[in-house]
Structures are given as structure tokens and as C-alpha cells.
Structure 1
Amino acid sequence: MRIAIITAMEEEMAPFRSQSQIKVKTQVGKVIIEEVIYRGEPLILVESGIGKVNAAIATTLLIERYKPDLIINSGSAGAFAAGLSVGDVIVATQYVYGDVDATCFGYEPGQVPQMPAKYELNAAWLDMARQTATAADLPYFLDFGLVLTLDSFMSESERVEGIKSTFPSVKVSDMEGLGIVQAAAQYGIPVLAVKAVSDIAGHGSVTANSFDDNLDVAAEHAAHYTKLLVQQIQSIYVKSEAVVE
């Protein structure tokens, strides 16, 4: 089982690097790819750079060079759903572009022309994620649901309310996730996305300050749950390999 973890920023990757032995490091433009040993098992770490284009490029490079069996996108997000607080974690069940509008041509809000209206993440891997959450004593709130990907930082309250009215079930938004999911879908590779809240969307300059102040907390919480997933998957894989042998 070859697992790859993608983050957008160095701060989001730091919790993984700190516990990994880096064997090989390559860089193409903004994309940093590292082959590492984590808890005695191989893992691929990818720092993509910010934004969905960088994320899609990084995912394509990763898949073409390494052909992973599973990609996990770990990182920060802005909260839309009521009741979410900084540090809470959302696992994406669906992804939609929050800033795409081709409705005048009959497409659904968020649907890129000639592409799916929404991207459903792999049900079997989501079941694994739910089982992992149930079995763990998590020091933060965790939920599952719709995540939006947008090119903009969601600080303006009027725009945030408009997005909420269009996508009432949205939990959080990021700037990379669907770039990863869409690119991986072209190759038939499943993705899990683990997003921790760094800020509450729509609070103006407070939102930006919250992001700066809480990025490390969000990165740590997203990484914590991602590590639990990796450990669970590696445990099952090692056991299955032992049975085969």
C-alpha cells in the first residue's frame, strides 16, 4: 500500500516531517516531493504550494512518478458551518468548487462545464476514516461533510453569506482540495481530505489574523488525525501481507 500525503504549506507538512526520515527529496517548481520512512514504513510527502492549480500540478507529478494507492490531503480550512471552532476537524465526503458559475449554460452551481457537478469521495475509505475516528480518543471535534474549494480567502461576510445560501450544507472551504481530487480522479486514485479549522469565514480582518494565529494548531490537528489514518491503514496492510506470505 503506497500512501501519499499532500499539504499546501510548509507549516502543514511540518508535523509529518518531524517524525519522518527523509530518504529522497526532489523539487519541481513549487512542488516538493519527499520519499520518507514513517513509523518504519515508506510514505510519500508532497508540499504543493497554495492554490488549486499548484495542487493539481503536484498531484499529477506525484501520480505520474509514484502511482500511489491512496492520497491524503491534510491541512487548514475556513469554517462555514455554524458551531465549528478553531481546531475542529472535517473529513470531506464531497467536494464542489465554490467559485465556479456556469449556471447560464444549464450547469449546477460549482460545476465546471463538462465535469461532474460534485465529486464524491471513496465510500470505502470514508468508512475506514469513520472507524478510525470512533476508535480514537480525539482531543478535538471531528465531523464529515461537504467541503468547497475556492481561489479566494473568505473574509468578506456578504460573500460568505452568498456561498452559504448556494451551498447550505457546506462545512468548510479550502484552496487546494478539489484540485487534488479532480486530478486524482483522472487516474482513478482515491483521495481522503482532512481539514482542520484555522479561521471562521466572513469575519473580515479578524479572519486573516485568526488564520495566522491558528495555522499551527490547525496543522497539528489535521496531521494528528491523518497520522491515525496512516497507522490504521499500514497496520491492516502489514497484516494482510503477513497472511499472504
Structure 2
Amino acid sequence: MAPANEITGETTAETKAAVESSHPISTLLIIIAMQTEALPLVTKFQLSEDTDESLFPKGVPWVRYHGTYKDLHINLVWPGKDPSLGVDSVGTISASLVTYASIQALKPDLIINAGTAGGFKAKGANVGDVYVASDAAFHDRRIPIPVFDLYGIGARRTFSTPNLVKDLNLKEGKLSTGDSLDMSPHDEAAISANDATVKDMEGAAVAYVADLLSVPAIFVKAVTDIVDGEKPTAEEFLQNLIAVTAALDQAVTQVVDYVNGKCLPDL
């Protein structure tokens, strides 16, 4: 999920996977931005809400659910509701903080960032499609200074899971992340430059932190709206959220079942 090592061509996470090839995945961290997306998985995996107030810093609204499913210790963390406005704490800031704190506290072997996303019909996306992101980058961090421009985009390959994608018959595509639901002309140009098939508000931030701390992460994104379609994004997103969340949760369940009992390189 990091830029390739100039000598070996491997990513940091892939190097870690090679080192840990003899150890089956044990601790799984699922990061989800919205309660609507999270609760069906809490039910599916029979997870319990954590009451340990010392796990995260005092005062944060973050919520952890945890439990044992088959051979996996599953932790599902979502950023909770904004304390002032009562809405889901979506976006890159909450995602970055939650990812960092969860890695530090829970020491996961693998991260799954699951969520809904916009898709582009020009890239073949349809409402209800589920993608595994092959790459992640930002589209709203514009720093027009040499090298800083590349830092702003923050393009990284995600942890490679060719067997998982093939065996579960999932689609692959590049993911572009920004903190706005809509798309400005500047964003549109940047997303096109990123060659993205799907667009979300958290993925590249999770990828950055996971890469920084050398934890493999995969990204499962279900399409709620067609960004380059005819309907307004917000209207289509709300119209399809519940149905597409069901497709997302089914895909995440398949991924978790697939991961169970396997080592990182097996994916």
C-alpha cells in the first residue's frame, strides 16, 4: 500500500506479509465511517460494544465493537456521531485519527476499510457494484509546488489480494478520496488524473496511516451513486444507501470468511 521500494518493487505492507507468511491472520480491524454501514456487520458477526473507556482518548465519540468469529478476533471501529451535530463523523480527519488510534490499541494483522462510494459510469461502474481498490489517492489536496504536488496526491498501491479478488469474483478499480460529497471541476480533473473508478471520503486517509504504520489494508467499496450520471449525487446516495449497504455487508462477510485461516500472502 506504499509507493514501491525502488530496489525490490515491494510495498512496505507486502514486505511485512512476506515476513509473517507462516502466521495465519488472527486480529482483524474493520474501519467503517457510517453507523448504517456498520450495524449489519455487528449483528452478522455477533460483536459486542466495548465498554472500556481507556481504549481511546477521553471524550472522543469513537465506537468499537469486538468479538470472535471463527478463528478471527474482529474489531469493528466507526468514528461515532459528531458531538455537536449528531451526524456520522465522515471524512479524512476522523478516518485518520480512528485508524491511528485503533492500530496503536489493537495491533491488527489486517485492516479492512469498508464503505459506500460514488462510481463513474465512464469506468463501467453501476449502482450496487462492489470494488476492491487496487490503488488509493487524494483528489482535493492541491499543492502546486514540485514534489509537494505528489505528496498532496499521495498515490499508493493498496495491499495486493489477487487470490481474494479472483475467488470472490470482485471488481477492482482505483479509489480517489476527498472531503466533499459533491465534485468541483478541480476535483473532477484530479479524479480523472487519478484514473479512479470509485470516489469516497475516507479510503486514502486510511491507506496513508496504515502504510505509515506498516499494516496491510484492503478497501471494499460499494457504489451508491453514479458521479457522472444524470441524478444529483446527494439525492442518489440517500435513495440507494440502504440497499447498497446490504450489498456491501454481504461482500465484507465474504471477504472475512475468505481471510479466516489464511496467511497474508495467501490473499
Q: Shorter-chain TM-score category?
A: 0.7 to 0.9
The equivalent position to 2:179 in structure 1, one of 123, 129, 151, is: 151
Q: Match of 1:166?
A: 193
The equivalent position to 1:199 in structure 2, one of 225, 233, 245, is: 225
> How is 1:60-75 mapped onto 2 (pairs within 5 angstroms)?
60-75=100-115
Deviation at 1:7, TM superposition (A): 0.5
Q: Match of 2:168?
A: 133
The 8 Å contact of residues 164 and 255 in structure 2, kept in 1 or not, is answered as: yes
> How is 1:203-242 mapped onto 2 (pairs within 5 angstroms)?
206-236=232-262
Deviations 1:183-215 (A, max 9, x none): 111110010000000111155872111111111
Moved over 6 A (4+): none
Query: d(CA) in 2 for partners of 1:71 and 1:105?
Result: 32
Would the alpha carbon gap of residues 24 and 11 (structure 1) be closer, same or farther in structure 2, given more than 3 Å must change?
A: closer
Q: Match of 1:137?
A: none
Deviations 1:143-179 (A, max 9, x none): 21210010111255x4564335433x21011101111
Greater shift, 34-43 or 59-68, is seen at 34-43
Residue 47 of structure 2 aligns to a residue in which SS?
Answer: strand
Which protein has the bigger strand share? 1
Deviations 1:92-137 (A, max 9, x none): 111010111123334446x32xxx84111122xx223223324xxx
> How is 1:63-142 mapped onto 2 (pairs within 5 angstroms)?
63-82=103-122, 83-108=124-149, 111-112=151-152, 117-123=154-160, 126-134=161-169, 142=170
- Give the count of matched residue pairs: 223
The reply to whether residue 15 of structure 1 matches residue 40 of structure 2 is yes
Would the alpha carbon gap of residues 130 and 106 (structure 1) be closer, same or farther in structure 2, given more than 3 Å must change?
A: same
Letter aligned with residue 69 of structure 2: Y
The reply to whether residue 6 of structure 1 matches residue 31 of structure 2 is yes
Letter aligned with residue 98 of structure 1: H
Residue 184 of structure 1 aligns to a residue in which SS?
Answer: helix
The 8 Å contact of residues 149 and 176 in structure 1, kept in 2 or not, is answered as: yes
Letter aligned with residue 74 of structure 1: A
Query: d(CA) in 2 for partners of 1:165 and 1:44?
Result: 34
Greater shift, 220-229 or 15-24, is seen at 15-24
Q: Match of 2:17?
A: none
The 8 Å contact of residues 75 and 218 in structure 1, kept in 2 or not, is answered as: no
The 8 Å contact of residues 24 and 36 in structure 1, kept in 2 or not, is answered as: no
Residue 105 of structure 1 aligns to a residue in which SS?
Answer: coil
Q: Which runs of 5 or more residues in structure 2 are unaligned?
A: 1-25, 80-88
Deviation at 1:23, TM superposition (A): 3.8
Identity over aligned residues, as a percent?
27
TM-score, length-scaled by structure 1: 0.81
The 8 Å contact of residues 89 and 197 in structure 1, kept in 2 or not, is answered as: yes
Q: Match of 2:94?
A: 54
Query: d(CA) in 2 for partners of 1:234 and 1:214?
Result: 30
Which protein has the bigger helix share? 1
Deviation at 1:81, TM superposition (A): 4.4
Query: d(CA) in 2 for partners of 1:55 and 1:164?
Result: 20
Q: Which runs of 5 or more residues in structure 1 are unaligned?
A: 135-141, 241-245
Query: d(CA) in 2 for partners of 1:38 and 1:159?
Result: 44
Q: Match of 1:138?
A: none
